Homo-oligomer: A and B are copies of this chain.
Amino acid sequence: MDEFELIQRITPRSLFHREIEIGIGDDAAVYHTKNGYQEIVAVDTMVDGIHFLSSHSSPADIGYKALAVNISDIAAMGGSPKYYLVSIAVPSGWHAVDIEAMYEEMNKLATLYQMDLIGGDTVSANGPLVLTVTVIGEIEKGRTCLRSHAEPGDVVFVTGELGSSAAGLAFILGQAEMKDEKQSQYFIERHKRPLPRVEAGLLCSGYHHVALNDISDGLASELNEIAEASRVSIDIYKEMIPVHSDLHTLHTKWEEWVLFGGEDFELVGTISNDQWERFSQECSERHVPVYQIGRVTQQGQADVFYHNGQDRVLLEKKGYNHFK
């Protein structure tokens, strides 16, 4: 594959942001920033065989998800994504048409948020495909939703159903039995094509002292991060956590998927009790789902508890390695 040719094909012909002085085509990208705003930067790397399986995901799926998970990081700060850069190490078995399909799908997703591709690097690899995406966003000063913002008395919320991505992966890996084609496709879609909760994040940034994380490593892990950063304890309740109505029929492990599965890329956060009603009202008006799942309980300790009927168990900060 000729790198110059690929760059010409993927270089956007038009840009959303006029603040860009130079996008692709010089040593680096250059852009103006807005007064009163801060910059937000996130970077994530995905490796074939570790974070996705090219045998089970199309190049378009892979490109989509690599960009989506980084947009999700910007959303988890309450910000607006604006720019992205794509670095890709391509094994010799891949064709230019696959790489183009990957960029094309990233471009489609980026267009939803009016994001511009401003740079990157394309190199050959003597190993699996490695895709690194950098996303740059912005947020008004003083509005960042940090993990350290949780306070006792806060409502704990999530923006959508959990465990569905892990269910989709179980279908892909043949670890769950497909009974209904349409149903399993739904879950697989949730795994391959998570929609970053940008609008929900932006709504959160309009309220005071919201803590926010995106659920990449699983609810337990994300809540523990908020608890540790804020030095608070958190109690969540099984019956309050939104799950797909069929989830429990798919596998005995469904509850583990909900708590530890990760990759749902919903947001989990905390907001003060006296803002909660106005916040949930505004979310409802804008058709942004939001569900209370528990409470921030006390200062000092940094424990997360899961209430299952009469039981109250400590939720540990463990992740979940799907391919092990």
Residue ranges of A at the interface with B (Cβ–Cβ < 8 Å): 21-22, 25-33, 35, 37-47, 49-51, 72-74, 76-77, 79, 83, 85, 87-89, 118-121, 123-128, 130, 132, 134-137, 139, 141, 144, 146-147, 212-214, 229
A37–B35 CA distance with the chains assembled, in angstroms: 11
Given A27-B213, A29-B42, A119-B42, A125 and B87 contact (CB-CB distance below 8 Å): no
The answer to whether B44 touches A85, judged by C-beta atoms less than 8 angstroms apart, is no
List the number of copies, as a whole number. Answer: 2
A204–B89 CA distance with the chains assembled, in angstroms: 33
Given A47-B126, A49-B126, A51-B123, A31 and B26 contact (CB-CB distance below 8 Å): no
The answer to whether B50 touches A38, judged by C-beta atoms less than 8 angstroms apart, is no
Contacts of A118 in B (CB 8 A): 41
Contacts of A38 in B (CB 8 A): 21, 30-33
Contacts of A229 in B (CB 8 A): 25-26
Contacts of A40 in B (CB 8 A): 28-30
The answer to whether A134 touches B31, judged by C-beta atoms less than 8 angstroms apart, is no
The answer to whether A85 touches B41, judged by C-beta atoms less than 8 angstroms apart, is yes
Residue of B nearest to A136 (CB): B41
